[in-house]
A and B are shown apart, each in its own frame.
Chain A
Amino acid sequence: MRFVDEFRDPELVTRTAAEIRRLVDPARHYRFMEVCGGHTHAIYRFGLKDLLPENIELIHGPGCPVCVLPMGRIDDGLSLAQDPNVIFAAFGDMMRVPGRTGSPLEHKARGMDVRIVYSPSDALKLARANPDRHVMFFAIGFETTAPSTALTILRAKKEGIRNFSVFCNHVTIIPAIRAILDSPDMRLDAFIGPGHVSTVIGCRPYEWIVKDEHKPIVVSGFEPLDMLQSVAMLLRQLKNAECKVENQYKRVVPWEGNRAALRKMAEVFQLRPYFEWRGLGFISQSALRIRSEYAEFDAEQRFEVPGVRVTDPKAAQCGEVLKGVLKPHQCKLFGHECTPEHPIGALMVSSEGSCAAYYKYEHPKTAMVNILSQTA
């Protein structure tokens, strides 16, 4: 309970934690998956595990767009930027993610023109400012981010900009949840649903999880109180033998989502027949590609993409961690070969990666316990 005093409404936090203890069946082990990497980060940052009974296990899901991208896609994107006329633009999160021939940052050190942008519209701005160069935006993200890329492409078309393209890696959350539920080594009781993805898609797309899979889901905010309330809502459903989609994050997430954003996405993107996810393999209809009407802005339709497939380093267990089968520290490379300074896998780099979160907040505690036990 390290941070409980700085939580919003600490009294309500304490009361919610007490309610959770009342709702829990001590004879049962609960496995709840938080789908979103932002939630994983919050769980470790706030030490939420310390507030929960021991028989509630939080399993980290695949909701970190940087982490789920297979290495081959990074290599493909970087290969297009080998052309000195190309400016490679990407979010800061991508910069240290290792490809087979190094990260974007390492390529920059070797002379590639790599720029950090904080918005897809700034990549378009780069194209306007550099009319004699080609700007390729390496787009990543779930449905939270995809509408912004879509709108940027619509703007580029309207302005008639010719030197801008998007290397599209946008993925969709629902097929990933389905893949996890289909995975034979995964047993889950319920889901903590992603907050910011749901501002766009709303709550309806989760209804199959309760209808077909009979797992409750609560769309949750990111504060400690939000997450504790979501856990309490899930426990209440399980205790009352209910199974429904609930929205704990009503102050931000409308049930119907953001229709304007969904419309822009549908206008510019269509579902790919399949897409490879790190750890989860090929998942059908799980990612977006740019419609042929916007082919001139699609790096994959405009240029020759090698279509690199790279298997992760054999010893790395990123896939198992992404599926929630292993906890970050259970990977053989965690904290030794794979650290934030020398990442082997993307989960150790991204701010939403479970390995990075575990390393930052949990690892120091474990390390200290080990040191104390050795010196005792």
Chain B
Amino acid sequence: MCLAIPGKIIEISPDNPDSALVDVVSVRRKVDLGLLENDRPQPGDWVLIHVGFAMSKISEEDALDQMQTLRMLGETEAALEEAQGYGLEEQDRTPHPKQ
């Protein structure tokens, strides 16, 4: 959970400036931009994402370096799992049995 995953902003939601569609390790997920309200990223910008929230804007070069770091740390899979988990996609596909 201390992963910081780089993602590229694809589009900002037209009805919610805090919600963006972001390309994260090749999956597209909704990411919350509410913690960057002082320095709002635009489509095409790169951000570092932690638990579904963009934490800081970074350059494309640093984003690619960060991906390389995750690869070297053997955490690409964990990053992909985390990104796929945003929005509860897994749970949506396999509903949890109710008690």
Contact = CB atoms under 8 A, between A and B. Distances in A.
A259 B38 contact: yes
Interface residues of B, number: 37
Contacts of A6: 72
A145 interface: yes
B50 to A, nearest CB: 6
| Chain B residues touching A, majority SS | mixed
A46 interface: yes
A340 interface: no
Contact of A46 (B65, B72, B81): B72
B48 interface: yes
B2 to A, nearest CB: 5
A45 B2 contact: no
Interface string A1-22: 0010011100000000000000
Contact of A260 (B38, B48, B51, B81): B38
A93 interface: yes
B52 A120 contact: yes
Given A118-B52, A120-B52, A148-B50, A260 B35 contact: yes
A76 B51 CA distance: 24
Contacts of B36: 258, 260
A199 B48 contact: yes
A253 B48 CA distance: 11
Interface size class of chain A, counting residues whose CB lies under 8 Å from the partner chain = 35 or more
B73 interface: yes
Nearest to A140: B1
Given A93-B1, A115-B96, A148 B68 contact: no
Given A113-B96, A118-B52, A351-B78, A45 B73 contact: yes
A283 to B, nearest CB: 20
B15 interface: no
Given A147-B35, A147-B53, A8 B86 contact: no
Interface in A172-226: 196, 199-200, 221-224
A196 B50 contact: yes
A119 interface: yes
Contacts of A121: 32, 52-53
A162 B99 CA distance: 21
Interface of A: 3, 6-8, 36-38, 41-42, 45-46, 65, 84, 91-93, 111, 113, 115-122, 125-126, 140-141, 144-145, 147-148, 151, 155, 196, 199-200, 221-224, 251-254, 258-261, 264, 351-352
Given A141-B1, A141-B2, A351-B2, 12 more contacts: A37-B2, A111-B99, A118-B81, A120-B52, A121-B32, A141-B51, A145-B1, A151-B32, A151-B35, A199-B48, A252-B48, A252-B62
22 contacts: A3-B72, A7-B72, A8-B65, A38-B2, A45-B72, A84-B99, A115-B96, A116-B85, A119-B53, A119-B85, A120-B51, A145-B51, A151-B53, A199-B56, A200-B55, A223-B65, A223-B69, A224-B72, A252-B4, A258-B55, A260-B37, A261-B35
